[in-house]
Amino acid sequence: MSEESNAGGGEDDKSPSTLAAAGTSRGFKLTEVQLATDNFTDGVVIGQGGFGKVYKGFMVVDGDSVEVAIKRLNPRSRQGAREFLTEIEMLSRFRHRFLVSLIGYCDEPAEMILVYDYMPCGTLADHLHKPGKNLRVPLPWSRRLWICICAARGLDYLHTGTSVQPDRAIHRDVKSSNILLDDNWDAKISDFGLSRLGPEDQAYSHVSTEIKGTFGYMDPEYSLTRRLTRKSDVYAFGVVMLEALCGRPAVDLSTDEEQWGLAGWAQNCITEGRVEQIIDPNLREEIKPDCLTEFAQIANQCLHRLPKKRPTMSEVVVRLEFALALQDGKDSAIIIRPTKMTISRKMQHYIFGSSSTSEKHIELPCGPVSVKQIIKATHNFSTKMAIGKGGFGIVYKAQLHGQVVAVTKLSSPSKDKLEEFNTKVHTLSSLKHENLVQLFGAYCGKELHLLIYECMEHNSIAEALFETRSSLKLDWKTRCEICLGIAKGLKYLYEESGLKIVHRDIKAQNILLGETDGNLKAKISHFGLAMLCDEGNEIMVRRVAGTSGHLAPEYAMRGILSHKADVYSFGVLLLEIVCGKSNAISRPNQETVYLLNM
């Protein structure tokens, strides 16, 4: 029989003060808590469960009066004591915008009290399943989608950690009643009493534990084997997504027997193409068809019977962001013309691949183009048509219906590479900025995978700066305008796109030059190495990628990645633009010399 693994050592070694020492939680006196709750009067109770009661009150924190939620655990519950310690440990280790914040605790004799930031909009479950309570109106679809994105980001942080907080965690009780909502409708994951620190190597590694969680949300594989993985949280999150879509609880015994369990019933409807039947009636006129299709596919994949077939939470975040872009009517620029605002069935075919030969056309701004036409235009991807190489593969120049485009052909299409390709297509499709090279279309077949971009008139600034034979000469004013354009593009990627994208390979060769009204315009290109990095966080990567001489030291030596890595690379690029020389200067029979060291 499996033994339950402890999250941070033996229970005897734990105390609230030692567990909270690494974080910013503080200890409160019982008298302070009693004052805030009017001595635990029922008049300020805002929630109640098996753990005890939750009270609303005000407490003085760092000299300010702060509105708080106070959870008083039932002291007679032995399990409650364990969960009390685990909650303090987890929320002292993990701090994130989309996790509930633990302000402090009280552990005076016979008391187990936790103090949190107060969430004025209640729980997701309240709004989905108790819409009439306190005159609540049903949540609109765009708000439900945003709440799912927030919760997914919080779970992704738990699962992946950061360089500052390298631990990983498995929540083990993801459900709509544990997703709290602040006054901006940002979602916060809460209730970490069942959480476990998870294995750091990969998503499929597991810890053995006794089975705990909530019926209707539990991963079937976990229930059968007691093998708890991060994919168990992914399964539960898939159920939460269905709750948001259907407006129904995870378990509803008031319905027909076949509909008691939301996950099984909804999965059958999605698989059989009857997704319209499961939509919350309040949403039928709100959800755009393409957003609905994407959202339902994500939820269905989260609920896959085999944990290894489920996406990671990082992948879920990207695809939910994509679904939001579809709902908001943002230009997807994948398989459709930029003027259209929806994604067709054809687009899904090209993203996810198919053996069908009936739809092998990509809708570009110049008109529909067949894959055969692309192959012909690149002379069957001849080296004579190659104009560069990026993170995905070789880039070819092609003329289609009179328009010159750049075609990237994915090299070495391994399973991991294909997953990265699909994720990048979803990510790049929502990007549109005057200082980014625009993605026109994408194709993903059985053996051929293509990205089609706009083609720039003057290639890269590397050619203009470093090659004496270049006819393009850059005066000081033009160089300053180029630098400003690159900075605007980077600002958009991380601050304005909503996706927090780190490019990872900013260099002169990846800055292309186009012309607008006779003026040169810099455009960032080659997103094959790009990654998502949540605001204010660093991530630890297993494989450092980029260009030697342009990598930030903390990234190159320790694998610590944040948007500041792009800032460092941009600094190197600025130096190259000012000096007109490459950072790496090779000399015959001598070591490479770097501008930064001169």
In terms of Cα–Cα distance, which of 456, 455, 451, 473 is closest to 464?
A: 473
DSSP category for residue 203: T
Q: What is the DSSP string of 84-147?
A: HHHHHHHHHH---TTBPPEEEEE--TT--EEEEE--TT-BHHHHHH-TTGGGPPPPPHHHHHHH
SS3 287: coil
DSSP category for residue 440: E
Return the number of other C-beta atoms located less than 10 Å from residue 34's C-beta: 15
Type of residue numbered 31: T
Type of residue numbered 232: S
β-strands 26-27, 102-106 pairing: parallel
Contact 288, 127 (CB under 8 A): no
Query: Residues for the chain: how many in total?
Result: 598
Contact 486, 566 (CB under 8 A): no
Residue 173: active-site member: yes
Strand partners, 561: 539
422 vs 584: CA distance, rounded Å = 33
469 vs 486: CA distance, rounded Å = 24
Please tell me whether 71 is known to bind a ligand.
yes
Q: What is the DSSP string of 332-383?
A: --SSS-TT-----HHHHHHHH--S-STT-EEEETTEEEEHHHHHHHTTTT-G
15 vs 194: CA distance, rounded Å = 17
Kindly give, in sequence order, each residue whose CB lies less than 8 Å from that of residue 420, ignoring residues fewer than 6 positions away: none
Burial of 332 from C-beta contacts in 10 A (0-12 / 13-18 / 19+):
buried
In terms of Cα–Cα distance, which of 359, 382, 354, 383 is closest to 371?
A: 359
Type of residue numbered 266: A
Question: CA torsion sign, 160 to 165 to 166 to 169?
Answer: negative
Active-site residue among 107, 126, 173, 534?
173
SS3 180: strand
Alpha helices in 395-535 (DSSP H): 415-429, 461-466, 476-491
205 vs 209: CA distance, rounded Å = 13
Return the number of other C-beta atoms located less than 10 Å from residue 132's C-beta: 8
Annotated binding-site residues read: 71
Annotated binding-site residues for ATP read: 71
Catalytic residue annotation: 173
